[in-house]
Amino acid sequence: MLSRRETSLLRALTTRGGRRRSEFCRCEGVRAVRELLDKRPDMVEFVAATARGFAALGCEPPNSRRLDETEFAALSDTVTNQGVLALARVPEERDELPSGDFILVLDRIGDPGNFGTMARTLLAVGGSDLWITKGTVDPWSDKAIRSGMGAQFALNIRRFDDLGAMTVAAGKYGFSRIFYADPHQGENCFRCADLYERSLIIIGGEANGSSELPPGTRSVRIPMPGNYESLNAAQAATVLLIEHTRREQTE
Amino acid sequence: MLSRRETSLLRALTTRGGRRRSEFCRCEGVRAVRELLDKRPDMVEFVAATARGFAALGCEPPNSRRLDETEFAALSDTVTNQGVLALARVPEERDELPSGDFILVLDRIGDPGNFGTMARTLLAVGGSDLWITKGTVDPWSDKAIRSGMGAQFALNIRRFDDLGAMTVAAGKYGFSRIFYADPHQGENCFRCADLYERSLIIIGGEANGSSELPPGTRSVRIPMPGNYESLNAAQAATVLLIEHTRREQTE
């Protein structure tokens, strides 16, 4: 059973207004809750699940709440739910030396599905630093967390007002190369030798590209011999992230 | 104005039953119609558009039909339409030597959006041969064409009952290497030297992977140092397609 306060908090977190006033986020789905429990157990307030949900999760964490299917369905934000959700605190941003070779920057990414895909792919290639500008979707919205399957909890996500403020923060740690994944022009990404040498790699929005790029930004382009403009933001990010792995493993 | 027969044909083509009985397909949206007109003008029966649609298209092809916004909205399969659609014949499959180094095989890909993304990416890397098995979505459904933005019309798409029949057909042209993009195991795709040497590269379904793989199939895997299973079918295809480009340009 959930208290009235807990229920209304979980409901409020599905709305933008409810999130803005809150230090909490909701994390729904088996894989997202697993990632949360694994990476940031200290952020968990409670897990609420049905019998089916606990079975799928494979454990019943401390401070869990059992709900019946009807109670859960009323709380769930999905049509076919997996019977598991968690209330978690939003991790604090850490102003610290980025632990990887590069920082992935999402600028004006408007789709929580794309955001989630890119967060997961960053984690998959062993990356850890995801920085975003104001125009990008809320990483801690229930949709973004579901799409990211909780990858958020394993990354250091930092938010900045604009790319200018971001480059100042990055420069402090010696991350001073700035690259923009440009669909139309720029250096061939496969021949750009210093692409991952303490750099920021900016992926612009699906609809309108990036916001104003800082002076000194270099454009990199994924070569497309078919001469057919095609890759969307998430695909472009995938290519640039996997290229880092490829170089690590073959060069 | 459209005749009653034309209207009901366009409507029927939004349903699976209507497509099964038809040699036609419907192609909606500015970019898809442009691709159709550019690559297969011989397939076009007519273009139907509003004044706004023709303006966006930048031309009024022969045998066009002008519709007002209300007429168009009644025909459109999208909520916010672009005012352009075409009725086209489905191109015939060509049993001929594949023109590229490899054939992209989509096996049990169930989502028209994923299908379209992969068709566009194949075209973007200069590929031309897209072979599919029965369990894959209809490439000529209105959704798949919209998502593929008409890339279908620039590719040679062939359908087979199963991977066995497909490998026989490919073997006839000397395409005898078979690779399966395996999420879990196999040769590192970046170190697999003959990946694009007259090969079939199989992408399995989002939900259940591939159907039965032919004997001699080799698994290739995209290395994921983050140890976090992540890439979906369309992302995996993107990586394997772009790797071909990378090798062409840098090796």
Phi, psi of A185 (to 5 degrees): -155, 170
Assign residue B15 the CATH number of its domain: 3.30.1330.30
Distances in Å between the Cα of A234 and the Cα atoms of A117, A230, B212, B224, B234 are: 7, 11, 30, 17, 10
Helix (H) or strand (E) holding A168, with range, is helix A163-171
Looking at the structure, tell me whether residues A227 and A113 fall in a common domain.
Answer: yes
ipTM: 0.89
Q: Are A250 and B191 an interchain contact pair (Cβ–Cβ within 8 Å)?
A: yes
Task: List the single residue in B with minimal CA-CA distance to A120.
Answer: B230
Residues 137 to 156 of A: which have CB under 8 A from any B CB? 151, 154
- Which of B241, B243, B245 to substitute to test the interface with A, most A CBs within 10 Å? B245
Looking at the structure, tell me whether residues B159 and B219 fall in a common domain.
Answer: yes
Looking at the structure, tell me whether residues B133 and B202 fall in a common domain.
Answer: yes
Task: List the single residue in A with minimal CA-CA distance to B147.
Answer: A230
What average pLDDT score do residues A118-137 get? 96
Query: Does residue B97 fall inside a structural domain?
Result: no
Q: Give the pTM.
A: 0.92
The reported pLDDT for the residue numbered A58 is 95
The reported pLDDT for the residue numbered B206 is 86
A188: nearest CB among B124, B223, B249:
B249
Predicted confidence band of residue A62 (pLDDT cuts 50, 70, 90):
confident
Read off the pLDDT of residues B77-131 as tens digits, 9 standing for 90 and up.
888 999 999 999 999 999 999 999 999 999 999 999 999 999 999 999 999 999 9
Task: List the single residue in A with minimal CA-CA distance to B127.
Answer: A226
CA distance B117 to B114: 5
CA distance B41 to B55: 19
- Other CB atoms within a 10 A radius of the CB of residue B42 amount to 8
Coil/strand/helix, residue B216: coil
User: Is residue B34 over pLDDT 80?
Assistant: yes
Give B87's strand partners. Answer: B26, B46
What average pLDDT score do residues A51-63 get? 94
Query: Does residue A97 fall inside a structural domain?
Result: no
CA distance B122 to chain A (A): 8
CA distance A31 to chain B (A): 11
Q: Are B231 and A250 an interchain contact pair (Cβ–Cβ within 8 Å)?
A: no
Assign residue A181 the CATH number of its domain: 3.40.1280.10
Answer whether A31 touches B (CB < 8 Å): no
Read off the pLDDT of residues B101-116 as tens digits, 9 standing for 90 and up.
999 999 999 999 999 9
User: What tokens appear for B169 in the block?
Assistant: 């057909």
The reported pLDDT for the residue numbered A103 is 98
The reported pLDDT for the residue numbered B66 is 96
The reported pLDDT for the residue numbered A131 is 98
Within 8 A by CB and 6+ apart from A70, the residues are: none
The reported pLDDT for the residue numbered B229 is 73
Single residue among B89, B119, B149 that ends a domain in this structure: B89
Looking at the structure, tell me whether residues B171 and B203 fall in a common domain.
Answer: yes
User: Is residue B49 over pLDDT 90?
Assistant: yes
Looking at the structure, tell me whether residues A48 and A146 fall in a common domain.
Answer: no
Question: Is the Cβ–Cβ distance between B81 and B49 less than 8 Å?
Answer: no
Answer whether A188 touches B (CB < 8 Å): yes
Query: Does residue A31 fall inside a structural domain?
Result: yes
Query: Does residue A130 fall inside a structural domain?
Result: yes
A230: nearest CB among B121, B230, B232:
B121
Q: Is A47 exposed, middle or buried (0-12, 13-18, 19+ CB in 10 A)?
A: buried
A124: nearest CB among B125, B191, B231:
B231
Q: Count up the domains in chain B and report the number.
A: 2
Q: Are A246 and B248 an interchain contact pair (Cβ–Cβ within 8 Å)?
A: no
**Domain range for residue B43?**
4-89
Q: Kindly list the residues from chain B whose CB atom is less than 8 angstroms away from the CB atom of residue A228.
A: 120, 123-124, 151, 154
Within 8 A by CB and 6+ apart from A52, the residues are: A69, A83
Looking at the structure, tell me whether residues B39 and B110 fall in a common domain.
Answer: no
Predicted confidence band of residue A21 (pLDDT cuts 50, 70, 90):
confident
Question: Is the Cβ–Cβ distance between B228 and A123 less than 8 Å?
Answer: yes
User: Is residue A224 over pLDDT 80?
Assistant: yes
Single residue among A31, A62, A89 that ends a domain in this structure: A89
Within 8 A by CB and 6+ apart from B160, the residues are: B131, B132, B133, B134, B166, B169
Residues 216 to 235 of A: which have CB under 8 A from any B CB? 222-226, 228-232, 234-235
Answer whether A99 touches B (CB < 8 Å): no
Q: Are B117 and A232 an interchain contact pair (Cβ–Cβ within 8 Å)?
A: yes
Query: Does residue B237 fall inside a structural domain?
Result: yes
CA distance B151 to B128: 10
CA distance A169 to A175: 9
Looking at the structure, tell me whether residues B60 and B183 fall in a common domain.
Answer: no
Residue type, A66: R
A123: nearest CB among B120, B127, B226:
B226
Pick the more confident residue, B189 or B229. B189
- Other CB atoms within a 10 A radius of the CB of residue B120 amount to 27
User: Is residue B16 over pLDDT 90?
Assistant: no
A228: nearest CB among B124, B238, B239:
B124
Distances in Å between the Cα of B203 and the Cα atoms of A65, A208, B206, B208, B209 are: 41, 31, 9, 11, 8
Alpha helices in chain B (DSSP H): 4-12, 16-20, 30-39, 51-57, 69-75, 112-124, 142-148, 163-171, 233-250
Query: Does residue A95 fall inside a structural domain?
Result: no
Q: Are A225 and B245 an interchain contact pair (Cβ–Cβ within 8 Å)?
A: yes
Task: List the single residue in B with minimal CA-CA distance to A191.
Answer: B250
Task: List the single residue in B with minimal CA-CA distance to A239.
Answer: B239
How do strand B24-28 and strand B84-89 relate by DSSP bridges?
Answer: antiparallel
Predicted confidence band of residue B52 (pLDDT cuts 50, 70, 90):
very high
Query: Does residue B161 fall inside a structural domain?
Result: yes
CA distance B7 to chain A (A): 32
Looking at the structure, tell me whether residues B65 and B115 fall in a common domain.
Answer: no
Single residue among A89, A112, A139 that ends a domain in this structure: A89
- Which of B31, B240, B246, B248 to substitute to test the interface with A, most A CBs within 10 Å? B246
The reported pLDDT for the residue numbered B35 is 95
Looking at the structure, tell me whether residues A70 and A110 fall in a common domain.
Answer: no
Give B5's strand partners. Answer: none
The reported pLDDT for the residue numbered B189 is 97
Pick the more confident residue, B20 or A10. A10
Helix (H) or strand (E) holding A158, with range, is strand A156-160
Looking at the structure, tell me whether residues A170 and A245 fall in a common domain.
Answer: yes
Looking at the structure, tell me whether residues A107 and A208 fall in a common domain.
Answer: yes
Looking at the structure, tell me whether residues B161 and B42 fall in a common domain.
Answer: no
Query: Does residue A96 fall inside a structural domain?
Result: no
Answer whether A38 touches B (CB < 8 Å): no
